[in-house]
Amino acid sequence: MRLVMMGSGTFAEPTFLALLQGRHPVVGLVTQPDRPVGQERGSTRQTGRGMKTIADEHHIPIIQPDSINTGEGMLQLAALQPDLLVVAAYGQILSRDVLAVPPQGGINVHASLLPKYRGAAPVAWAIYHGETQTGVTIIRMSVALDAGDILAQEVVEIGRDETAGELEADLAEVGARLAVKVIDQIAAGPVQGVKQYKTQATKAPKLTKEHGLIDWSRPGRDVCNQIRAMQPWPTAYSFWHRQGQEPMRLIIYRATLSSPHFPPPKEGFTRGLEAGEILALTDKSQLFVAAGDQTLVHIQELQPAGKRRMLVADFLRGHPPQPGDRLGPGPN
């Protein structure tokens, strides 16, 4: 069975490599057009070996149409004479005509337990919403987004402190293994899938930079989940508001939930826990921010605008908190 891989980014790489090591010939790669540095498109914008690099190493033909759904794109695809499309994080919705090119249609490697989290960023939204489990689903592709019949599925536990980037790397390996298994089943004969129910579906839309802005009025656990979910892109951020100074933008990389029964901060700080209020120990090595449910978010690693990523203790040496300091939205 002649396979064409369709994918972009690091989530697709393990599946591509697994296909190349399998018993079915891979006759082409369809991936996104080259873009200037800083404009890469992917679910988490991680940098791996690169799909084109892998294809070149194995002498696999590469096509990069702006849209695979155009006449030109479909002609390029048809020239590869695929029997089956294998799709992972390709970044374009395939039309009915494209799916009709190969006799066996297409399968998609999706990083969630469908029908939950249909869309471009299933890993990030699962963490954002506090899920403790997610997984990988292989579906037979249909015109509707992530709505095809389920051919295989595997549950994966989400670590308490795991970021979206870390979890996606784990899921990519699971997806590669499942994809090879399903392809062998399809080659052996008809495979009966399990229908998805639209009423059980949830959405996982593409992330934007605005999704990283922290709302400190939310519960502390939700804030910590957001910080994990937004890594490695777009990253969670907030603004340090200081009396008489411009707000300072801070990217927050690592934080944990602390006990609300925390030792009193140094003299001069307010005692009421208002959302976004900054608390610090007298040794100036730890930083806590009050959340909306009266819990404290312990920030451990951050990056001030224009500076390097650093531990909080290093940051506080140059920016000791003052009474009335708080984190919140930007000046606008």
**What CATH code is carried by the domain that includes residue 287?**
3.10.25.10
**Residue span of the structural domain in which 248 resides:** 209-328
Looking at residue 321, its pLDDT comes to 87
Nearest-angstrom CA–CA distance, 68 and 288: 49
In terms of domains, do 147 and 280 share one?
no
Whether residues 190 and 236 share a domain: the answer is no
Residue where a domain terminates, one of 182, 200, 218: 200
pLDDT tens, 140-153?
Answer: 999 999 999 999 99
Task: State mean pLDDT over 270-280.
Answer: 77
Whether 232 and 308 share a structural domain: yes
Q: Please compute the mean of the pLDDT values over residues 46-64 and round it to a whole number.
A: 91
DSSP characters for 218-265?
S-HHHHHHHHHHTTTTT-EEEEEE-TTS--EEEEEEEEEEE-SSPPP-
CA angle 311–315–319, rounded 5-degree value: 160
Q: What pLDDT is stored for residue 46 in this prediction? A: 54
If you compute the radius of gyration of the chain from its CA atoms, what whole number of angstroms results?
Answer: 23
Answer whether residue 200 shows pLDDT above 80. yes
Residues 177 and 216 in one domain: no
Angle at 43 between CA 139 and CA 156, to 5 degrees: 55
What are the Cα distances from residue 212, in Å, to 100, 175, 209, 234? 39, 27, 6, 6
Same domain, 178 and 83: yes
- Largest CA-CA distance found in the chain, in angstroms, rounded: 74
Which of 200, 223, 249 represents a domain boundary (last residue)?
200
Q: How many domains does one find in the chain?
A: 2
Q: For residues 36 and 126, state if they share a domain.
A: yes
Question: Could you tell me the pLDDT band of residue 320, with boundaries at 50, 70 and 90?
Answer: confident
Taking each continuous run of H as one helix and of E as one strand, the counts in the chain are: 8, 14
Of the three residues 158, 177, 200, the one that is the final residue of a domain is 200
63-103: pLDDT as tens digits? 999 999 999 999 999 999 999 999 999 999 999 999 999 99
Looking at the fold, whether 226 and 320 belong to one and the same domain comes out as: yes
Same domain, 159 and 250: no
The answer to whether 187 and 19 are in contact (CB under 8 A) is no
Report the chain's mean pLDDT, rounded to a whole number. Answer: 91
What whole-number distance in Å separates Cα of residue 289 and Cα of residue 275?
8
Percent of the residues in the chain that have a pLDDT greater than 90, as a whole number:
82
Among 133-142, 150-159, 290-299, the range scoring the smallest mean pLDDT is 290-299
Which amino acid, one-letter code, is at 323?
Answer: P
Which tens digit of pLDDT belongs to each residue from 155-190?
999 999 999 999 999 999 999 999 999 999 999 998
Same structural domain for residues 8 and 49? yes
* Same-domain check for residues 220 and 146: no
What is the value of pTM for the model shown? 0.92
139: domain CATH number is 3.40.50.170
Closest CA to 137 of 118, 120, 121: 118
Residue 139 sits in the same domain as residue 220: no
**Cβ contacts of 73 within 8 Å, gap of 6 or more:** 63, 65, 66, 67, 98
27: Cα within 13 Å, side-chain hemisphere: 15
Give yes or no: residues 44 and 120 share one domain.
yes
- Please write the tens of the pLDDT for every residue from 215-227: 999 999 999 999 9
Among 120, 331, 151, CA closest to 234: 120
94-120 tens-digit pLDDT = 999 999 999 999 999 999 999 999 999
Looking at residue 38, its pLDDT comes to 46
